Amino acid sequence: MFTPSLQFQQLTGAKKVQIGQSSISHLHKSHAEKWRYQKIAKIKPLNTEKKNNEELEENSLQSQLKRLQKQHFTGRVDIDVCGQTWKLYLSLGRLAWASEGVHERRRWRRQLIRANIAREIKTKQSDRFECRDYGLLNALSAQKLINKEQQIAIVRGVVTEILFDILQAIEVADTRQSKERSQAESDNVFTLIPRLGVRPSHSDTGILPREWTLEIELSLTIVEKAWEAWKKFGLARCSPNLAPILNDRDILQEQVSLKTYHRLLEVANGKRTLRDIAILMKKDLLGLTKYLLPYFRSKAIALVEIEDSGQAVAGDRVERKNRGLILCVDDSERIRHAMENLLTDAGYRVITIGEAVQAVPTLLQCQPEAIFLDLMMPIANGYEICTQIRRITQFKDTPILFLTGNNGLVDRVRAKMVGATDFLAKPVDRERVLATVEKYVKNPH
């Protein structure tokens, strides 16, 4: 086989280079002869590379699954990519179900929401299903709580998500490996083991009709198209199973309007994955991620791993939607962070401001249910800001809660005189803050 070292010998006039059946035995050859042999030498690695590519293509995930389709394989296909595992269930060469990977419960809940199924169902203890979710789907079908279209939509949703995750894992692992080894030395980054006869249900009555299964080749085409679009926007290493979370509020406030900032706070709370958010907002996953991409790049919003959840994905949205918006004005970044964290955890939406002069303009835009106001700030103190707010008719009854390290009687009296609703001493105490908010903030209409 031709190697770079042979090419170097040839170009520098080495005494002998073996190429196929011919050899160059003399140091000095004409330029024409050198060019001819160099051309032959260059062809061989191209043929080798082509052969390697053909072997890689033959062993690719897509090729192996298509072979199983042609063989009308029935059973389970175990796929492992660097320790991550997935299971595909085939019925006569068609996709019947898929399982494992991350967030199985979240994945199941997303499909119910997408198919507009409000009711969940539990399987009986006596039911024996290899896949819990497949058992739930079977029970929904048996009790006629789901129609054929919804059934197929759920199967397609689960299979599509898992195939996408497998393709992404393979490409990320392959890219990492290619940096360490040459293509010729490259090993398969995944293993695929067919297990004949293994089905998602252990009973014959638990297998859903074959016409509710999916064609492998068509499913792969759909997923490959989605994956190529995902990569096109530089998202190859960005898993849709990650959750956006606010990383730097100051950078985000500089990038967006107050209205957009407020909307992003609801999205980037670190409790829902990109897939969860897309389902809840009824948005295309790629479109949503493209919208958030500038904030990822500026590091205003980060992406983090989160655990699976046994609860409904939409549950926290229902619990939080009427808790209200709180404005916190304080020149201490530490206090702003503490207030935002504890109020957000309690289900409130929070906007924080570090400069007193921004308080009134922000207030007019967001119209919060309550205002936390630091007493001692540069340029304008809390008394002055409170006086300005009370002059605005629409905020004459809005709770204004002073936060201060000056807890004297004079300060309290003066606070009342300018229209403060209550007075909280620093350092911030979680229980007192939440008790005060609950005292004055009613559920917004």
Q: How confident is the model at residue 36 (pLDDT cuts 50, 70, 90)?
A: very low
End-to-end CA distance of the chain: 77
Predicted pLDDT at 138:
84
Predicted pLDDT at 171:
92
Q: How many CB atoms lie within 10 A of CB 23?
A: 11
Predicted pLDDT at 320:
41
Entry pTM? 0.63
Provide the percentage of residues in the chain whose pLDDT is more than 90.
33
For residues 349-377, give the mean pLDDT: 84
Predicted pLDDT at 347:
80
Instruction: Identify which has the larger pLDDT, 236 or 363.
Output: 236
For residues 41-54, give the mean pLDDT: 48
- Is residue 2 within 8 Å of 19, Cβ to Cβ? yes
Lowest mean pLDDT among 71-80, 96-105, 432-441: 432-441
Provide the percentage of residues in the chain whose pLDDT is more than 70.
77
Q: Which of 99-103, 209-213, 248-252, 313-317 reaches the highest mean pLDDT?
A: 99-103
Q: How confident is the model at residue 205 (pLDDT cuts 50, 70, 90)?
A: low
pLDDT at residue 246 is higher than 90: no
Predicted pLDDT at 8:
34
Predicted pLDDT at 102:
92
Q: How confident is the model at residue 174 (pLDDT cuts 50, 70, 90)?
A: confident
For residues 380-392, give the mean pLDDT: 85
Q: With both helix axes pointing from N to C terminus, report the angle between 148-178 and 132-142 in degrees, rounded to the nearest 10.
A: 160
pLDDT at residue 411 is higher than 90: no
pLDDT at residue 131 is higher than 50: yes
For residues 80-93, give the mean pLDDT: 93
Q: Which fold has domain 243-304?
A: Arc Repressor Mutant, subunit A (1.10.10)
Q: How confident is the model at residue 312 (pLDDT cuts 50, 70, 90)?
A: very low
Query: 3-class secondary structure for the chain?
Result: CCCHHHHHHHHCCCCCEEECCEEECCCCCCHHHHHHHHHHHHHHHHHHHHHHHHHHHHCCHHHHHHHHHHCCCCEEEEEEECCEEEEEEEECCEEEEEEECCCHHHHHHHHHHHCCCCCCCCCCCCCCECCHHHHHHHHHHHCCCCCHHHHHHHHHHHHHHHHHHHHHHHHHHHHHHHCCCCCCCCCCCEEEEEEECCCCECCHHHCCCHHHCEEHHHHHHHHHHHHHHHHHCCCCCCCCCCEEEECCHHHHHHHCCHHHHHHHHHHCECCCCHHHHHHHHCCCHHHHHHHHHHHHHCCCEEEECCCCCCCCCCHHHHHHCCCCEEEEECCCHHHHHHHHHHHHHCCCEEEEECCHHHHHHHHHHHCCCEEEEECCCCCCCHHHHHHHHHCCHHHCCCCEEEEECCCCHHHHHHHHHCCCCEEEECCCCHHHHHHHHHHHCCCCC
Predicted pLDDT at 46:
44
Q: With both helix axes pointing from N to C terminus, report the angle between 285-297 and 274-281 in degrees, rounded to the nearest 10.
A: 130
**Segments making up each domain of the chain, as ranges:** 4-58, 69-232, 243-304, 322-440
For residues 394-417, give the mean pLDDT: 82
Q: How confident is the model at residue 56 (pLDDT cuts 50, 70, 90)?
A: low
Predicted pLDDT at 203:
64
Q: How confident is the model at residue 13 (pLDDT cuts 50, 70, 90)?
A: very low
Mean residue pLDDT across the chain:
79
Q: How confident is the model at residue 338 (pLDDT cuts 50, 70, 90)?
A: confident
For residues 238-253, give the mean pLDDT: 90
CATH, domain range 322-440: 3.40.50.2300
For residues 203-213, give the mean pLDDT: 72
For residues 10-25, give the mean pLDDT: 38
pLDDT at residue 385 is higher than 60: yes
For residues 28-45, give the mean pLDDT: 41
Predicted pLDDT at 22:
39
pLDDT at residue 15 is higher than 80: no
Predicted pLDDT at 119:
64
Look at residues 138, 290, 123 and name the one whose alpha carbon lies nearest to residue 199: 138
